[in-house]
Amino acid sequence: MSTISVRDLASHVGEVVTLRGWLTHLRSSGKIHFVVLRDGTGEVQGVLRHGECVWEGVEQLDDLEQECALALEGQVRADPRAPSGVELDVRRLVRLAPSPHYPIQPKAHGVDFLMEHRHLWVRSPRQAAILRLRARIIHAIRAFLDDHGFILADPPIITPSAAEGTTTLFPIDYFGESMYLSQSGQLYMEALAMALGRVYAFGPTFRAEKSKTRRHLTEFWMVEPEMAFCQFEENLSWQEQLVGYVVQDVLAHMQPELSVLGRDSEALQRVVPPFPRVTYDEALRLLQDRGYALTWGEDFGAPEETALAAMFDRPVFVTHFPRAIKAFYMQPDPERPDVVLAADLLAPEGYGEIIGGSERIHDLDLLLQRLKDHNMDPNAYSWYVDLRRYGSVPHSGFGMGIERVVAWIAGLDHVRETIPFARTLNRVWP
Ligand code: 4AD
Ligand code: MG
């Protein structure tokens, strides 16, 4: 007899085992009680018959409250009707810890209430499935990059200057000096690409986003690959290979979670490269044809992104954006310097931009000019400018937002459920 996981029960049919976990549900029918136990790896039903089971730590049946901690000892029995394929004939039940008046009851609670109790909400099967899915997605991203010669290199979180514009910076007091939480590790990744060739960052990033949308967090995780000797086209190719790999990996390994989430995986099966591409100009025309009153030079918002993505059955790249609406470091198109060699990858089904990437300026004078155009202090970026002085070569990279990818693959309404403890404009609790 040993303590084993619910997930492994099917290979222990006939054996006597001990399970430890929490009670999700109790139902009685005469002298038989059905106890559903979850242990983080799955759920199983235990069957208790009066007179055939020893109880410890329990005076009466009512002591078995939702989410009390339990140990169940019993014999594993195959049961084709059970979701896990097995049940447990319980001989001994020990209540390890009580759980009086558990706040989240099996009824519909509002999302504010659930977010307020996020520390408990994460126990629900649906939330646990999302977090398992997130872990698998991160695993797949890292496996892909590690297998393709990308070196994980961690940029700092505390930074002296902005990477993505000054409007979304979180300032922090650094021993009397003003510093910022990193919005993106990109500038550092460019330095590291010149040291290691292909690199990636995987970590938290911070944006003081004043927008209250389904897609914005103030603290989110980003994977940021950066490649030396890599130009615009190759950059897009890495992005579609990565996204295709991640989606197919999830389909191959996470069917139980996708079914808990009720995710229709048909749309995901189509996510195989190459992905369609439209230039900003073409996208603008497509949108104008459908009645969107946008003029050249305006950025796309969520409604435009959703409308555009709906015209394609796979993720779509929008390329060659007007220079003026994009970041200072982006390489202008040599044939048309008013647009940049940048692309956003839009996910299908209204999930919007999941990747932003570009070829970077590698010419010293051009970079200095662009800093000036953006009224940025070249002294604050002197180390970054240095990269253009010593063996500067074409290089490109991109940033993929983990939470948006999880929301899309899981088919969720909002990114707040894709991260264990979401940080948004109006929530930093718990
Ligand atoms: O497009 P963004 O701002 O690009 C960069 O930060 C580049 N420096 C990345 C790079 O080239 N290394 O952000 C990249 C991605 C977006 O496409 C989106 O998926 C996600 O990060 N993202 C957010 N996710 C959640 N909440 C927010 N507030 C986000 N802002 C960006
Ligand atoms: Mg972007």
Q: Which residue's alpha carbon is at the smallest distance from atom 22 of ligand 1? A: 401
Instruction: For 200-216, give the DSSP string.
Output: EEEEEEE------SSS-
Q: Which residue's alpha carbon is at the smallest distance from atom 11 of ligand 1? A: 398
Q: How far apart are CA 220 and CA 401, in angstroms?
A: 7
Looking at residue 109, the DSSP 8-state letter turns out to be: P
Residue 211 Cα: closest atom of ligand 1 = 28
pTM over cut 0.95: yes
| Each residue's pLDDT tens digit, 413-427 | 999 999 999 999 999
Residue 209 Cα: closest atom of ligand 1 = 28
Which residue spans within 299-341 are E strands per DSSP? 316-319, 332-333, 336-340
Task: Categorize the per-residue pLDDT at 1 as very low, low, confident or very high, splitting at 50, 70 and 90.
Answer: low
Q: Kindly tell me if the per-residue pLDDT of 3 is higher than 80.
A: no
Task: Categorize the per-residue pLDDT at 2 as very low, low, confident or very high, splitting at 50, 70 and 90.
Answer: low
| Each residue's pLDDT tens digit, 118-159 | 999 999 999 999 999 999 999 999 999 999 999 999 999 999
Q: Is there an atom of ligand 1 within 6 Å of 224 CB?
A: yes
- The helix (run of H) or strand (run of E) holding residue 189 is helix 186-196
Burial of 230 (0-12, 13-18, 19+ CB in 10 A): buried
Q: Which residue's alpha carbon is at the smallest distance from atom 30 of ligand 1? A: 216
Q: Which residue's alpha carbon is at the smallest distance from atom 21 of ligand 1? A: 401
Give the pLDDT of residue 103. 97
Residue 185 Cα: closest atom of ligand 1 = 12
Closest C-alpha to 166, from 390, 330, 327, 384: 327
Q: Is there an atom of ligand 1 within 6 Å of 155 CB?
A: no
Hey, which of 222, 246, 406 would you mutate to test ligand 1's pocket, going by the most ligand atoms within 8 Å of its Cβ? 222
Q: Is there an atom of ligand 1 within 6 Å of 216 CB?
A: yes
Q: How far apart are CA 67 and CA 21, in angstroms?
A: 9
| Each residue's pLDDT tens digit, 337-379 | 999 999 999 999 999 999 999 999 999 999 999 999 999 999 9
| Each residue's pLDDT tens digit, 39-94 | 999 999 999 998 999 999 998 888 999 999 999 999 999 999 998 899 999 999 99
Inter-residue contact 222 to 399 (CB < 8 Å)? yes
Hey, which of 159, 161, 220, 425 would you mutate to test ligand 1's pocket, going by the most ligand atoms within 8 Å of its Cβ? 220
Q: Which residues fall within 8 angstroms of residue 274, CB to CB, at 6 or more apart?
A: 240
Q: How far is the CA of 46 from the centre of ligand 2 (A)?
A: 50
Q: Kindly tell me if the per-residue pLDDT of 260 is higher than 90.
A: yes
Q: Kindly tell me if the per-residue pLDDT of 321 is higher than 60.
A: yes
Q: How far apart are CA 157 and CA 85, in angstroms?
A: 47
